[in-house]
Chains A and B, each alone.
Chain A
Amino acid sequence: MWITIKIAWKNIWRNKVRSLVVIGSIIVGVWSVIFLMSFSLGMGDSYVRNAVKNQYAHIQIHHPEFIEDQEVRFTIELKGQISSIPNVKNYSARIISNGMLSTGHGAKGVFIKGIIPDKESKLSDLDKKIVEGDYLSEDDTKGLLVSKKMIEKFKLKLKSRVVLTIQDQVGTIKYAAYRVSGIYSTGNSMVDESQVFVNEKGLRNLILGDTVPVNIFHEIAIEVSRPDSIAQVESLLQSIYPIDTIQNYKELAPDLALMETQIRTSGFIFIFIFMLALIFGIINTMLMAVLERYRELGMLQAIGMPKLKVFGMVVWETIFMCMAGVPVGFFLGWISVYYFQGRGLDLSAFAKGNEQFGIDSIIYPITDNALFTQLGIAVAITSILAAIYPAIKAVNLRPVEAIRKI
């Protein structure tokens, strides 16, 4: 066994250039798969994180019928026990209504969110997304936060007067004048174009009336301290809200779950394509190596080297080439991911395109041990598969013909 392994190891250095080309291609392939996957995971994470932060939070609670109809009357109560659930980091509640925003330059259907300014800023960092003007204060019931996109579209500016047209819980159309107090940008154009924020107090009075208790809302949004605790928090919430609908962000936005799955799937496709290229590279190299050593392989069988050992020798040669390349590829992959994890990969040049989809302009690659394990196993399997054909060639030669070969 050891002599087979020893010869195999020495054989790969007989034609250094050829072996180094294969090892080099393995290094580049492994490195690029790691980097591309980490970049994709980072991009996906940015998309999901932004969507969670700006739109969904980790968990939302609604009246069961609000999900279907979004009618003003389907409300829920904000209960104090939420704050005592372990792993609940922040939470807030919102009054929500569909309405019409009218300005001197046009009108647009919008999603009006009545927020508790203090809690909302903790939950979604909305105060940090104000690019001009001021965030809503607790007492400001006439201020309106509009997105930069809408400002551009309706030629608005700070303190511009706009009118919101809303339907209250009995179906009466109501009009309310607001003044633009702040301009925000979440980085997701699609979301920004469709929603405005006001103080929940003013909106409550307008659509629910002043007789409704102050702890009645349409939506409760919760941020957890660790994403892996979502299920646990959900089950505890269920005991507090037994009849209401509790959904996590993947249920609220299946596209987020799809995004995560797609990234993983595309990762496997990357790996498959790389392995396919690698398999042909190795077959080509090993076939050349076998044909070059035809006489020697014949001699080995002539003097009594069993076919299984000859087969093993060729397989070991490919395994050694992979073993030489994979750790270097892993190291380069890890180094480059580590480097960009700290600094981020600045995609400002494409940021507008990214923003359309809620992805940051700076991407921080993410990697995990599973990727390294999967890739390592994939390369090992590929190298063994790639070795089979050349090894069969080596085994099937006729020693009597091979030893006469010049």
Chain B
Amino acid sequence: MKVIEVIGVTKTYNPDKIPVYALRGVNLVVEAGEFTAIVGPSGSGKTTLLNIIGGLDRPSTGEIIIGGKRLNQLSENELIKFRQKEIGFVFQSYNLIPVLTVKENTEFVMLLQNIPKAQRDARTHELLDSVGLSDKLNKRPSELSGGQQQRVAVARALAPKPKFILADEPTANLDSVSTSNLLEIMEALNHKENITFVFSTHDHRVIERAHRVVVLEDGVIKEDNRQ
């Protein structure tokens, strides 16, 4: 089943001055349950593609279809709602809410969705258990290591049961042990919950574990390999 469809997407920055072509006609289909890495050198357009797929940015031309919904047709507010329900985000620099605890950060999106407390608590405990942080429920992000914070970010992204997770360089700030832990957790969750993962990376440890590797260069897909 197609989760993400990228059809002829281009993205040009500064089109009226000195144009920068970040994406030049990208076509990509991601199926449900895939564990996909988008790789490429810096400036190849990985983050731009992820932002466009995530509805954070709009393409200059082309179309993004997520679960049959065309993102181009959604207003700003509809896009926010859409992201809240359908997409989980994991950022390079964790981006947790510093004033909230691990538990509160994990259940944050569920709170926005008004999910009942009992359901919320069960899901939060289940996820924090999966990422090995059930003993850190009441800790603040500042009391956790980088690896632990990124695991909380993964738990938060998964909490509302999104269609897929977008992770932009999720291991860029982690040491090798933390990276290995995080990848194991992400893989396990990919299997257990059949969640689709799409991440940008140039970390070879991530690439090795990806089931599919999409190579992007100068805004164009050069290779698309399933392992």
Contacts and interface: CB of A to CB of B under 8 A. Distances in A.
B98 A7 contact: no
Interface string A1-42: 011001100110110000000000000000000000000000
A302 B97 contact: no
Contacts of B95: 295-296, 299, 403
Interface residues of B, number: 25
A305 interface: yes
B112 A304 contact: yes
Interface residues of A, number: 23
B112 A10 contact: no
Contacts of A304: 80-81, 83-85, 109, 112
Contact of A301 (B80, B97, B100, B156): B80
Interface of B: 51, 54, 56-57, 76-77, 80-81, 83-85, 89, 91, 95, 97-100, 104, 108-109, 111-112, 156-157
18 contacts: A2-B111, A3-B111, A6-B100, A6-B104, A7-B97, A7-B100, A14-B99, A295-B95, A296-B98, A304-B80, A304-B81, A304-B112, A305-B80, A305-B112, A306-B77, A306-B112, A400-B56, A400-B57
B111 A303 contact: no
Given A303-B84, A305-B112, A306-B80, A296 B57 contact: no
Contacts of B111: 2-3
Contacts of B109: 303-304
A309 B111 CA distance: 12
A256 B187 CA distance: 84
Interface of A: 2-3, 6-7, 10-11, 13-14, 295-296, 299-307, 309, 399-400, 403
Given A299-B91, A303-B84, A400-B51, A309 B112 contact: yes
A307 B57 CA distance: 16
B57 A3 contact: no
Contacts of B83: 302-304
Contact of A399 (B56, B100, B156): B56
Give the interface SS of chain B, mostly helix, strand, loop or mixed.
Answer: helix
Nearest to B110: A3
Contacts of A299: 89, 91, 95
Contact of B108 (A14, A302, A303, A403): A303
Nearest to A406: B93
A243 B56 CA distance: 84
Nearest to A304: B84
A2 B100 CA distance: 13
Contacts of B89: 299, 302-303
Contacts of B80: 301, 304-307
Given A7-B99, A400-B51, A302 B56 contact: yes
Nearest to B57: A400
Contacts of A296: 95, 97-98
A141 B111 CA distance: 91
A307 B157 CA distance: 19
Given A3-B108, A3-B111, A296-B97, 18 more contacts: A6-B104, A7-B99, A14-B98, A14-B99, A296-B98, A299-B91, A300-B97, A302-B89, A303-B89, A303-B109, A304-B85, A304-B109, A304-B112, A306-B81, A309-B112, A399-B56, A400-B56, A403-B91
A300 B84 CA distance: 10
A14 B141 CA distance: 14
Contacts of B81: 304, 306
Nearest to B157: A303
Contacts of A399: 56
Contacts of B56: 302, 399-400, 403
- With a 10 A CB-CB cut-off, give which of B77, B84, B99 has the most chain A CB atoms: B99
A309 B84 CA distance: 13
A13 B140 CA distance: 14
Contacts of A3: 104, 108, 111-112
Contacts of B100: 6-7, 10
A6 B112 CA distance: 13
A307 B97 CA distance: 17
Nearest to A300: B97
A23 to B, nearest CB: 18
Contacts of A6: 100, 104
Nearest to A13: B99
Contacts of A14: 98-99
A306 B75 CA distance: 12
A3 B98 CA distance: 14
Contacts of A309: 112
In this complex, the member of A296, A299, A300 whose beta carbon has the largest number of chain B beta carbons within 10 angstroms is: A299
The residue in A14, A299, A304, A306 that gathers the most chain B C-beta atoms within 10 A of its C-beta is A304
Nearest to B94: A299
B77 A307 contact: yes
Contacts of A305: 80, 84, 112
A15 to B, nearest CB: 11
Contacts of B77: 306-307
Closest 4 CB pairs of A and B: A304-B84, A10-B99, A299-B95, A400-B56
A273 to B, nearest CB: 34
Nearest to B82: A304
Nearest to B140: A10
Contacts of A403: 56, 91, 95
A306 B99 CA distance: 19
A301 B83 CA distance: 9
B6 to A, nearest CB: 17
B66 to A, nearest CB: 14
Nearest to A310: B80
Contacts of B156: 303
Contacts of A295: 95
